[in-house]
Amino acid sequence: MTSPSLEPRDWALWRAIALMGRRLVAGLEQRLQAEVGISVPDLDILMALDAAPDGRLRAGSLGEMLGWEKSRISHHVSRMEARGLVKRVTCVEDHRGTWVELDDAGGSALTAALPVFAAHLKHGLVDVVPADEAEVIGRVALRVLDASPATSCQAEIDRLGVELGLRAGTPS
């Protein structure tokens, strides 16, 4: 059944984009688990912490950056903490918040994961999409993200716009 306001082509576009994302992530998940022993969400957190000043972020900021609910970030960080990938530190400035910091094992896991991620990205996306089409895809992705009513991830969306050279600012 389709919506009267959408054409079959519109539904097919949605399914193609959603399936592409799921397949790229599933392939990366398989490679990371087999070669490094971490998951894609683990990698997302490790990369966010690595990019953060002092290798740490407030738990709430980390959740907002990834577009995760508070409970999801809390549970996932707990599992990563149990594996020695990250650690929680009470914020001495206000004692209400918690910092999530990259731990030594997390740094090692990230170092091992980045070549796996790069190879997967190159094989599954970079080598498949010509540069001129990649720029178009980047522009379209940012337009879709800007039109979304969701408010999470805005800092990440802004940073991507700069890194893709599609928005003013200084790339990090």
pLDDT in tens, 41-77: 999 999 999 998 888 999 988 998 898 999 999 999 9
List strand residue ranges (DSSP E) for the chain, in order: 56-58, 86-90, 98-102
Question: What token pair was written down for 43?
Answer: 């990698």
Question: What token pair was written down for 42?
Answer: 């683990």
Query: Which pLDDT band holds residue 84 (cuts at 50, 70, 90)?
Result: very high
pLDDT of residue 172: 45
pTM: 0.85
Class of domain 8-128 as given by CATH: mainly alpha
Would you kindly state where each structural domain of the chain is located, as residue ranges?
A: 8-128
pLDDT at 155 over 70: yes
Q: In whole angstroms, give the CA distance from residue 64 to residue 100.
A: 13
Q: In whole angstroms, give the CA distance from residue 60 to residue 80.
A: 16
Is-contact 102 95, C-beta < 8 A?
Answer: no
Task: Count the Cβ atoms, other than its own, within 10 Å of residue 113.
Answer: 22
